[in-house]
Amino acid sequence: MKSAQTYQVFHRKQLDKIPQVRSLSAEVREAINVVSAVLPFRVNNYVVDELIDWSRAPDDPIFQLTFPQRGMLDEQDYERMRALIASGAEEKAVKALAQEIQVGLNPHPGGQLEKNVPSLAGEAMRGMQHKYRQTLLFFPAQGQTCHTYCTYCFRWAQFVGIEDLKFFEKEAAPLLRYLKKHPEVSDVLFTGGDPLVMRTAILSRYIDLLLNSDLDSLRTIRIGSKAPAYWPQRFVTDPDADDLLRLFERVVASGRHLALMAHYSHPAELETDIAKEALRRIVATGATVRCQAPLIRHVNDRADDWAKLWQMQVENGAVPYYMFVERDTGAHHYFELPLARAYEIFSDAYSQVSGLARTVRGPSMSANPGKMCIDGVADIAGRKVFVLKCLQGRKPRWSNQVALAEYDTKAVWLDDLKPAFGEKNFFWDRPEEEILHDAASQRHQIWAAEA
Ligand SMILES: *Cc1c(COP(=O)(O)O)cnc(C)c1O
């Protein structure tokens, strides 16, 4: 096997250190430099040397996935930033303009800040999000970067240094306190960033505390990560790779489920020997790998790529889980696809794989009322409609409900859709369903009342 590599990472200021970048055209290099002044950029040597097909750049999907592209900023913002940099402006001026552009890019979509941050004894739990009853998201402070940043990342605001936009928690104790008060939570999902940028010794401080506390209500530990795609060495050759696998085994030995929620965007990420070896080693611990990714124009907007991706996941012992719709944040205008197109791609790919890969659900939007899937397109009484299905509801009773929306070839997000047949509202925005704003405590009361 190639690549028992040492980890090397490149930022904006180190572009010249990447030989493959030096051979790109001047326009493409300028675009990387200008756009990465505004949106996060970071790439590691494995992605550069083994995943990107440089003979196909800039069209190569992994290049589009990891290197900033000119179309990610609108013409005017691009030109302002280009001119400022060309004038030799100081870093401070570049940062100021970058921030001005960033706040115009909807840094926190889906009401994450106002609606999902829970509180305990009146104190906001900054490193957590609790939207769906069973599952708590936890953002460990040391896991808030990634091995490589995805160009379309919906958490990009975390990485650009706008301090008050950051979610994180340094300690494990508040997590334990919260879980003890919330026995309805069966799943904790460690997320970021990427929790697997943390060394095993640090990650295990959080996880072992949960395992060693008498917390029967916690049944599943999930880790959301792109390490299997961007740095499979994490599970194979890193100095603490074996320690990480032992940690997975401890979770399994505690009688709990360990779900590695792996982010694979494209079949190229599963083609290297080390990527397959990483999956083999993870699955051998008794963990389950479930796979999810958004559908992204320029990266994975072909049904055949999804069919191949899901098939490869199954072959390597992983489970296809979600196809998401690109969120309405950051450079979404460059990456988004109409919902009607997303549904076609999903259906085409779905029809190419056997039932074992049809555990996948989508295309799903993580929108304000919940995870809303385009579950079908139907003709009813002479009208073409989208059949929407709520996979996860902000209110539990919304889950598994369906709604009909007028078919629309331009709509890219839930907010663009209108209820079909002249209805005024969807079930989640009827006046009596008004979403409560002071999330956690009130939501808990709702859950308690519904239970
Ligand atoms: C997707 C998501 C989850 C997990 O949902 P599952 O359907 O159980 O995988 C939890 N919290 C938030 C905020 C989410 O967006």
Q: Do 259 and 295 touch, CB atoms closer than 8 A? A: no
- Closest residue by Cα to atom 7, ligand 1, is 392
CA 338/CA 198 separation, integer angstroms: 36
Asked whether 131 and 187 are in contact (CB, 8 A), the reply is no
d(CA 178, CA 180): 5
User: Looking up tokens 């900054």, which residue turns up?
Assistant: 126
Q: Is 132 in the pocket of ligand 1 (CB under 6 A)?
A: yes
Ligand 1 pocket, mutate which of 112, 135, 138 (most atoms under 8 A from CB): 135
| Token pair recorded at residue 392 | 């996860």
Cα 188 to averaged position of ligand 1 atoms, centre (Å): 10
Task: Give the C-alpha distances (Å, rounded to integers) separating 421 from 55, 283, 388, 413.
Answer: 51, 48, 14, 20
To test the ligand 1 pocket, which listed residue (371, 373, 399) has its Cβ within 8 A of the most ligand atoms?
371
pLDDT score of 323: 98
Number of domains in the chain: 2
For 96, the 3-state DSSP assignment is helix
Q: Whose CA is nearest to atom 8 of ligand 1?
A: 135
- Verify that 308 and 432 share a domain, yes or no: yes
Task: Report yes or no on 112 lying in a domain.
Answer: no
Residues 148, 84 share a domain: no
DSSP secondary structure letter of residue 183: T
Measured CA to CA, the distance from residue 184 to residue 182 in angstroms comes to: 5
Answer yes or no: is pLDDT of 440 > 70. Answer: no
pLDDT, tens digit, for every residue of 240-250? 999 999 999 99
In a domain, 189, yes or no: yes
Domain boundary among the residues 103, 128, 147 is at 103
Q: Are residues 76 and 177 in the same domain?
A: no
Is residue 135 lining ligand 1, measured as CB closer than 6 Å? yes
Q: Is residue 70 part of a domain?
A: yes
CATH number at residue 164: 3.20.20.70
What's the 187 CA to ligand 1 centre distance in angstroms? 10
Residues 95 and 133 in one domain: no
Ligand 1 centroid–CA 191 distance in Å is 11
In a domain, 1, yes or no: no
Co-location of 60 and 209 in the same domain: no
Q: Does a cis peptide bond (omega within 30 degrees of 0) precede residue 363? A: yes
The yes-or-no verdict on residue 122 having pLDDT over 90 is no
Is 80 exceeded by the pLDDT of residue 445? no
* Ligand 1 lined by 139 (C-beta under 6 Å): no
Give the pLDDT band (50/70/90) at residue 3.
Answer: low
d(CA 262, CA 289): 6
Domain boundary among 79, 103, 127: 103
Give yes or no for residue 129 CB within 6 A of ligand 1. Answer: yes
What the block records as the tokens of 192 is 């970021």
Asked if residue 110 is part of any domain, the answer here is: no
* 139 touches 167 (CB < 8 A): yes
Instruction: Identify the pLDDT of residue 447.
Output: 46
Cα–Cα distance measured from residue 182 to residue 83, given in angstroms and rounded to the nearest whole number = 53
Beta bridge partners of 18: none
pLDDT tier for residue 112 given thresholds of 50, 70 and 90 = low
Examine residue 277 and state whether it is found in any structural domain, yes or no. yes
Look up residue 51 and give its DSSP letter: I
Give the mean pLDDT of the chain: 92
Q: How far is the CA of 132 from the centre of ligand 1 (A)?
A: 7
- Among 138, 191, 392, 398, the mutation site with the greatest number of ligand 1 atoms within 8 A of its Cβ is 392
Domain boundary among 43, 72, 103: 103
The residue ranges of DSSP E strands in 358-445, in sequence order, are 361-367, 370-380, 383-393, 402-406
The three state secondary structure string of 210-251 is HHCCCCCCCCEEEEEECHHHHCHHHHCCCCCHHHHHHHHHHH
Please indicate, yes or no, whether residues 378 and 439 belong to a single structural domain of this protein: yes
Say whether both 82 and 163 belong to one domain.
no
Question: Is the Cβ atom of 131 under 6 angstroms away from ligand 1?
Answer: yes
Q: Which atom of ligand 1 is nearest to the CA of 391?
A: 7
What angle separates helix 339-350 from helix 303-315, to the nearest 10 degrees?
50
> Rounded mean pLDDT of 283-293?
98
* pLDDT, position 329: 84
Cβ-in-10-Å burial (0-12, 13-18, 19+) of 27 comes to exposed
Q: Is the pLDDT of residue 93 over 70?
A: yes
Say if 3 falls within a structural domain: no
Is the Cβ atom of 366 under 6 angstroms away from ligand 1? Answer: yes
Tell me what the mean pLDDT of segment 32-51 comes to.
Answer: 97
| Tens-digit pLDDT profile for residues 384-426 | 999 999 999 999 999 999 999 999 999 999 999 999 999 999 9
Confidence of residue 437 (pLDDT cuts 50, 70, 90): very low
Say yes or no: 157 and 259 in one domain.
yes
3-state DSSP assignment of residue 115: helix
Q: How far is CA 398 from CA 82, 319, 355, 411, in A?
A: 47, 26, 27, 22
| Residues 364, 424 within the same domain | yes
Q: How many CB atoms lie within 10 A of CB 254?
A: 18
14 is a domain residue: yes
Q: What is the mean pLDDT of residues 364-390?
A: 97
Cβ-based neighbours of 72, under 8 Å, separated by 6 or more: 35, 39, 151, 330, 331, 334
Same domain as 433, residue 382 = yes
Tell whether 20 and 144 lie within a shared domain: no
Nearest atom in ligand 1 to the alpha carbon of residue 321 is 9
- With contact defined as beta carbons under 8 Å apart, do 380 and 404 qualify? yes
Percentage with pLDDT > 90 across the chain: 82
Residues 231 and 361 in one domain: yes
> In this structure, what is the dihedral angle of CA atoms 157, 438, 213, 183, given to the nearest 10 degrees?
-130
Give the residue numbers spanning the domain of 78: 9-103
> What residues contact residue 114 under an 8 Å CB cut-off, 6+ apart?
437, 439
What DSSP character marks residue 145?
S
